[in-house]
């Protein structure tokens, strides 16, 4: 698989990474550990060198899964994880409290290093901006960890341009991880130009619109209560029905290019900028293989323009997050 550098950092990863959250959390019950380890190994065999997790996924169990699965590949792969959450005593210990204070980061990194079975974290993201802590302090804490050799690169997630600039002035930001796909194109307004200006890489999560752009979801699809999408307005029955017009557009392009809708969605992101590295997640070997073939689909500038013009005519209905999560992005 093609390798890409995340901005000016020199951090080189596979053009497609693997988002591992759904293996342990958010998309239903945790999946069988042995099966997920086999899937992760299949990803490595398929050329993937970039794996994404977070302390809160599980919580903590997803990092443990990656630590065990990727132990044989030390020095050959890049693991990204995230800090910034802690148990909320007001909500029965659920991980819903933000904490990016330097002393908390110092503690969190030790846990992640142990669970991931590594000496240094390749890419350490602030999971969500904590308004109670100046971003300069958070960036300074990560800078200290980099100086100590416990972290190699600093990243941010779902932050706004102004906040990223402030952090970057203290410790260069290697990558921003935020949602971006044909289903959610808001980053094009102010984020992409800023990233290009500062030489920061972009790692889109949910590049397949949380599964919607695969064409496998329709108005009759039922999401379990342990599936995050059951609480997302964009995935209400009425909004799914309206938003299927976008999938129809992508399906037409897929047919023309002898590809699947998922492959077209990924190929579009890869064609946008050479420093964009999507991290589609899956728990199925068939889907992994399908996604990896998406890196082989090459869209011309004319293809990209045509796809964008057609998809822009579809008005997307519904917010991408429930209220609690919506208030934590773009800060």
Tokens 């699809």 sit on residue: 221
Distance CA 115, CA 69 (A): 11
Q: Which of 57, 124, 125, 180 is catalytic?
A: 57
For this structure, is 73 an active site residue?
Answer: no
- 74 exposure class (CB count in 10 Å sphere: 0-12, 13-18, 19+): exposed
Closest C-alpha among 4, 15, 19 to residue 208: 19
**CB-based contact 53:40 (threshold 8 Å):** no
Cis, peptide link before residue 59, omega less than 30° from 0: yes
The 10 Å CB-count burial string (b at 16+, else e) for 219-246 is: eeeebeeebbbeebebbbeebbebbbeb
Cα 132 to Cα 99, 174, 197, 288: the distances in Å are: 8, 23, 28, 39
**CB-based contact 54:61 (threshold 8 Å):** no
Which tokens in the block code for residue 24?
């342990």
Closest C-alpha among 126, 192, 183 to residue 331: 126
Which tokens in the block code for residue 161?
């341009």
- Catalytic residue numbers? 57
């Amino acid at each position: 698989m093609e390798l890409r550098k995340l901005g000016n950092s020199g951090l080189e990863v596979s053009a497609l990474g693997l988002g591992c959250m759904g293996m342990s959390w958010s998309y239903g019950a945790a999946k069988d550990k042995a099966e997920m380890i086999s899937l992760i190994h299949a990803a490595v065999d398929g050329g993937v060198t970039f794996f994404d997790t977070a302390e809160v996924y599980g919580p903590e169990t997803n990092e443990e899964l990656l630590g065990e699965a990727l132990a044989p590949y030390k020095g050959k792969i890049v693991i990204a994880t995230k800090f910034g959450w802690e148990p909320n005593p007001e909500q029965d210990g659920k991980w819903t409290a933000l904490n990016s204070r330097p002393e908390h980061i110092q503690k969190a990194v030790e846990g992640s290093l142990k669970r991931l079975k590594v000496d240094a974290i390749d890419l350490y993201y602030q999971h969500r901006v904590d308004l109670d802590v100046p971003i300069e302090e958070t960036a300074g804490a990560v800078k200290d960890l980099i100086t100590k050799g416990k972290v190699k690169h600093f990243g941010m997630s779902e932050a706004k341009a102004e906040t990223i600039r402030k952090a970057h002035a203290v410790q260069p930001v290697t990558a921003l991880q935020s949602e971006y796909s044909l289903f959610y194109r808001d980053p094009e307004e102010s984020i992409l130009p800023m990233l290009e200006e500062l030489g920061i890489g972009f790692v889109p999560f949910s590049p397949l619109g949380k599964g919607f752009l695969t064409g496998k979801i329709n108005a009759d699809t039922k999401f379990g209560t342990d599936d995050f999408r059951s609480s997302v307005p964009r995935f209400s029955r009425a909004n799914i029905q309206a938003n299927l017009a976008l999938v129809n557009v992508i399906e037409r392009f897929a047919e023309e290019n002898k590809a699947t809708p998922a492959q077209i969605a990924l190929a579009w992101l890869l064609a946008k900028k050479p420093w964009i590295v999507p991290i589609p997640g899956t728990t199925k070997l068939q889907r992994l293989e399908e996604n990896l073939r998406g890196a082989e689909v090459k869209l011309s500038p004319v293809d990209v323009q045509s796809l964008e013009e057609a998809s822009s005519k579809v008005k997307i209905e519904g917010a991408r997050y429930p209220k609690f999560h919506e208030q934590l992005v773009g800060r």
